[in-house]
A and B are shown apart, each in its own frame.
Chain A
Amino acid sequence: MGGRPKNGCYFAVWWLGLRRSRVTQKEPAEIDRLQTGVEGLDTVLNGGLLRGAAYIIHGPPGAGKTILSNQICFGHTQRGEVALYVSLFAESHDRMMRFMQRMGFYLPEHVPERLTYISAYSALRREGLPGVLNLLAAETRRRGATLVIFDGLFVAQDAAISDQAFREFVHELQGQAAFLGATLLLLTNQRRDPSSPEYTMVDGWIELHDETHTYRAVRLLEVHKQRGGSFLRGRHLFRITNSGVQVFPRVEAFFRDCVPAKTAAGRTSWGIEGLDTMFHGGLPKTSSTLIYGPSGAGKTTFGLHFISQATPQSPALFFGFYETPDRLIAKAASIGIDLAKMLETGALRIIWRSLGESHVDEIIHHIVQQVVETGAQRLFIDGLHSLKASLIHEERLPLIVNALLYRLQSLGVTVVGTLVNSAVFLPADLGTAEMSTLFNNVLLLHYARREGTLTRNLSILKVRDSDYDPIAEEFHVCSKGIVFGQRTGSERRPANASPDPAASADTGYDSPDEAGRKDR
């Protein structure tokens, strides 16, 4: 393969002939993949980039194209292959390299033997686009590169004398790379109409978004096209840290094919005798349970009992957003549960995650990753309402929770989650109907007023496919934890308490609201 023929059409025909003969030698189902090494991206691409294919990576300045492409290069060189980074910018790539040196994926020992950075700008100035093509072909071949990054496609477009010339350039660039067995990534920040020829001609198109919603900024990656390969559609969250790019496939898309396992036989103990009795033996294994109630009603305490039954052979995971591990350990100790020992033996892992700027996809992937890593059979998620707070588009919440619960069930995990309700007493309306339908079991905690004191009550609203005691049971929390049943007279109201100002108006109803309705 020598220099570029004088007749560009001849070259195109010649190359097409070669390519056609190469394609017939390969079964469509066996298209090789090039793994990017970027966490989550290969999942979105359903296995990685297609080898020998050309992709446009498009995004505004600062979107992350340079970091992403460099990270892919070093992932490539780590596998012993050779990459070539060609820039069409007039600016020096030394500055870019300086920034990349701060990234965790940068491997100085691979530069320049396995990853070389060169500029094609001088070739463009002296010989135009044909000069760039010749340089790319020669360098790809000379170095044996199987991954080529071409940074600055829009510069080529500006240099082309016509749209036709630009189309031919992209076509020939793609053809050269494919013939040489190199995967080609074309970086550009110019937003052109999707019907523009370059998007039609390339095999794949990945777009990076950088959006601001009121005060929050979010980075999203979207695959528009991957010819010959499936991918996860829609926009997927990604982050850029000192380690590089990390992609979090959108939960509803990632878990969509997750088939929930059949509900396992047997019961999982709550760790509370009375509650196990109400459930006629305990929670159905691998079921999902929602505990719903006002702040301070005891939702977390129920969760502590639930995870206290874990063992190193059948561990538990506590995932929360509010109480730090130290506070949880102290809280559990006050009711006779030794979380510290459970942590030590591996029966329990506590993950506390400050909400901050977290996004829900990141949180869900973290939960599932921790479950898989620990082999947890019990999972307690304290504060499901926090997921809503981390969402930019709240309408996703039921889809996300549904996908998560299916995934957890497929992993054989029994899940208990809590959701806060602003109504202190028995609510007339759950106000969260969509969430309660997603869970197999729903428990409601609420306060009631009896004989001048506030009592805590639990009602089982639903247990899917199982029998249960359909009555509201009073419970209290003592040094032994949660105990069902009414307190004794002296426990109800301390002897030195001031007289109850409402004692004469005590109607015996559970809540003032209910009293008001009955008295009308």
Chain B
Amino acid sequence: MSTILVVEDEFIISLNASMLLEDEGFHVDVAYDGAEALEMVAANPPDLIIADYMMPVMDGLEMITRLRAQGWAGPIMLVTSIPEEKLPVSYARGHDAYLSKPYLAQQFIEAVRRLLGNR
């Protein structure tokens, strides 16, 4: 069973995402900010990270940048209401996929499946 780490400060979004993914047969862990996510990845590396952008303590872009700097090569999906073309120029585009908020359940699952290669 694949493990997915959902990194999201908004409770309802993390709850909905978790329920969807668990229904699809995934094991889901949740972190509420980027710093917590880094600790969780170090302790228990997931098969996929789904990351929000705007979060307290450490935002999603900084988290992704640090993960890649540490050598983490797993797939990362960035999920945010900020348009992808509006992401800061300084960000080194460490994510593998992008999904715009708000999203429909079907869109979300299809994006996850594509990233995990239909595992």
Contact = CB atoms under 8 A, between A and B. Distances in A.
A94 B53 contact: no
Given A92-B101, A122-B9, A138-B57, A98 B81 contact: yes
7 contacts: A90-B12, A94-B10, A109-B86, A112-B53, A116-B54, A122-B10, A138-B56
The SS class assigned to the A binding surface is helix
A125 B11 contact: yes
Contacts of A119: 9-11
Contacts, number: 55
A117 B54 contact: yes
Contacts of B56: 118, 120, 123, 135, 138-139
B102 A111 contact: no
B71 interface: no
Interface residues of B, number: 20
Interface in A79-123: 90-95, 97-98, 108-109, 111-113, 116-123
A108 B56 CA distance: 20
A103 B81 CA distance: 16
Nearest to A120: B56
A123 B36 CA distance: 13
Interface of B: 9-14, 32, 53-57, 59, 81-83, 86, 88, 101-102
Contacts of A142: 57
A94 B102 contact: yes
A118 B13 CA distance: 12
A126 B9 CA distance: 12
B81 to A, nearest CB: 5
B89 to A, nearest CB: 11
Given A92-B101, A138-B56, A138-B57, A112 B82 contact: yes
A94 B52 CA distance: 11
A117 B11 CA distance: 14
B32 A123 contact: yes
Contact of B59 (A97, A111, A112, A138): A112
A98 B102 contact: yes
A64 B39 CA distance: 40
